[in-house]
């Protein structure tokens, strides 16, 4: 049995918004649950962008999470293997099949489909991801 905690890797296309938000929210939830070191949390993008989405960072700051210093990371099969558990955020990103890696997809709310944009859109996405990461944290 490994001495390493299990890992969760959140993936979206650019790794500048939703996957970074989910990683920050899971870290916060694990800390609130008194088990901050029980899971290794990371994120990556299938086509990593250049920077963190400013609105994503802003709405996380509102709940005490700072991702301003994070940088988008390119998804690799090695990163998937290291985590062992990959959660794809949304419908756009596709990941390769990697032996021994469990992949789950979260079809998240997309407020822009209902005409909701800007800050309000990001708050709705944050709240959706917060509920999902709270449930995920309870698994560990």
**Which pLDDT tens digit goes with each residue over 32-91?**
999 999 999 999 999 999 999 999 999 999 999 999 999 999 999 999 999 999 999 999
Q: What does the domain layout of the chain look like in residue ranges?
A: 10-138
Q: Are 8 and 42 in contact (CB under 8 A)?
A: yes
Q: Burial level of 2, CB count in 10 A (0-12/13-18/19+)?
A: exposed
Decide: helix, strand or coil at residue 25: helix
Read off the pLDDT of residues 98-131 as tens digits, 9 standing for 90 and up: 999 999 999 988 888 899 999 999 999 999 999 9
Q: Provide the 8-state DSSP code for 91.
A: S
Query: What is the rounded CA–CA span in Å between residue 37 and residue 128?
Result: 24
Q: Where are the beta strands (DSSP E) in 2-76?
A: 7-12, 40-45
CA 34 centroid distance within chain: 20
Global pTM value: 0.94
Specify the CATH class of 10-138 in words: alpha beta
């Amino acid at each position: 049995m490994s001495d390493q905690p299990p890992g969760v890797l959140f993936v979206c296309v650019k790794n500048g918004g939703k996957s970074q938000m989910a990683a920050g929210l899971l870290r916060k939830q694990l800390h609130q649950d008194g088990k901050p070191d029980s899971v290794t949390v990371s994120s990556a993008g299938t086509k990593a962008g250049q920077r963190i989405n400013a609105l994503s960072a802003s709405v996380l700051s509102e709940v005490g999470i700072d991702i301003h210093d994070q940088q988008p990371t390119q998804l690799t099969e090695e990163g998937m293997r290291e985590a062992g558990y990959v959660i794809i955020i949304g419908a756009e990103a596709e990941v390769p099949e990697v032996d021994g890696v469990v992949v789950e997809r979260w079809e998240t709310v997309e407020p822009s489909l209902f005409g909701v944009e800007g800050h309000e859109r990001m708050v709705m996405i944050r709240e959706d991801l917060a509920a999902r990461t709270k449930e995920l944290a309870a698994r560990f």
